[in-house]
Amino acid sequence: MNEQRFIDTAVAFDAVPKDPDGQGFSLTGDGRVSFRLKAPGAKSVVLDQFGTVFALGEAGDGLWEGTFDLGRGFKYFFLKIDGADVLSPYLPIGYGCSRPMNFVDVPVPGEEDWAGLDGVPHGGVTRVLYPSSVSGKHEAALVWTPADYDPAKQYPVLYLQHGHGENETGWAHQGHVARIADRLLYEGSMREMLIVMGNGMAVDREGRGGAFPRILLEDLIPFVESRFSVKTDKWHRAMAGLSMGSWQTSLVTMSHPELFAYAGVFSGFMRFPRSGSDNAHLSILDDPDAFNAAFRVFYRAMGTEDQFFSAFEADDEMLKTKPGLNMLRQTFPGGHDWGVWRRCIHEFLPMLFKED
């Protein structure tokens, strides 16, 4: 079946091994994190949070310790020992910035109410491999199926994309999309569906980037529709993504309104964020009647502290010149991070396929 339930790249370890020296981290209960790491002979051990540096202090016997306020939510950081990047097996590992990275996830008050694991039946997340005519090799995707998935039924599908430097594991591991969907479904707040997460960093046969839109349309969607029991009309197909995935969503859905009826643009770019694109996909915005007939939901959202918020506001201004478009706009407190994107998907999922 070309189906796997493991990840062949070290990108998604949830279990952190125990160490006799007590290496690892602990949460203090007030939002801070205590670290204890071993680096005999080192001159410095620091956590570099994208330019904000937290220095651990020597604690004897080669151990280094420190307690810091990294902020609430999911926090990547670079662990550096004497200036060299190090990946600790005693801290959680995820995939970001095009490499495995250590992180901590500091509980956000209230998030457990809508993204907690306890008290709900859980669906499955399966890793599938599918042949790509665009890349010339097998590509990977993750597929969330609801707890009572029945192959005799047909389900609508959401294609959900990560950001730049991440891969298909991002939404399942860092984004907690499975537990969010599990709870929404249990509460009766969303429709049953499949959620398919592809690798948006894929390249074509010549090694050129930007290949994922073609891979999605030519390879991944046909594979999903042949492998799983899903509905195949546009009214039962959605796409959403964060950051780079938001641009891919804008490009694909507005270029192919005959294929998608729902779009979610998280930390969200309507236009290519750099020069070099004619943004021809935006032509559908010139005909509000056609746009409104094509999309049942077109949702844009961003964190108010996002470094790209000016681009979001520029899209606001662009859309003001095109009156009559039915779009939803949302902002959340926070930056360009998983805390915001978890909120985005939690709000977006209940909007999908309500007409069924």
**pLDDT grade for 62, boundaries at 50, 70 and 90:** very high
Mean of the per-residue pLDDT values of the chain: 93
pLDDT digits (tens, 9 = 90+) for 77-122: 999 999 999 999 999 999 999 999 999 999 999 999 999 889 999 9
Is residue 4 pLDDT above 70, yes or no?
Answer: no
Q: Is the pLDDT of residue 207 over 50?
A: yes
Banded pLDDT at 17 (limits 50, 70, 90): confident
Q: What is the mean pLDDT of residues 314-329?
A: 96
Query: What's residue 29's pLDDT?
Result: 85
pLDDT at 275: 62
> Strand order in 24-27's β-sheet?
24-27, 33-38, 63-68, 57-60
3-state secondary structure the chain: CCEECCCCCCCCECCCCCCCCCCEEEECCCCCEEEEEECCCCCCEEEEECCEEEECEEEECCEEEEEECCCCEEEEEEEEECCEEECCCCCCEEEECCEEEEEEEECCCCHHHHHCCCCCCCCEEEEEEEECCCCCCEEEEEEEECCCCCCCCCECEEEEECCCCCCCCHHHHCCCHHHHHHHHHHCCCCCCCEEEEECCCCCCCCCCCCCHHHHHHHHHHHHHHHHCCECCCHHHEEEEEECHHHHHHHHHHHHCCCCCCEEEEECCCCCCCCCCCCCHHHHHHHCHHHHHHHCCEEEEEEECCCCCHHHHHHHHHHHHCCCCCCCEEEEECCCCCHHHHHHHHHHHHHHCCCCC
Residue 15 pLDDT grade (very low, low, confident, very high; cuts 50, 70, 90)? low
Q: Is pLDDT above 50 for 229?
A: yes
Single-letter residue type at 331 = T
pTM of this structure: 0.93
- What pLDDT, on a 0 to 100 scale, did the predictor assign at position 231? 98
Distance from C-alpha of 255 to C-alpha of 253, rounded to nearest angstrom? 5
pLDDT at 6 over 80: no
Average pLDDT over residues 64-76: 95
Give the architecture-level CATH label for domain 24-107: Sandwich (2.60)
- Lookup: tokens for 320: 């003001």
| Residue 230 C-alpha from the chain's centroid | 22
pLDDT at 10 over 70: no
Per residue in 163-190, pLDDT tens?
999 999 999 999 999 999 999 999 999 9
Q: Which of the two residues, 275 and 16, has the higher pLDDT score?
A: 16
Residue extents of the structural domains in the chain: 24-107, 112-351
* Interval 49-72 mean pLDDT: 96
Tell me, what's the pLDDT at 355?
83
112-351 maps to which CATH number? 3.40.50.1820
Amino acid of residue 9: T
| CA separation for the pair 141, 107 (Å, rounded) | 28
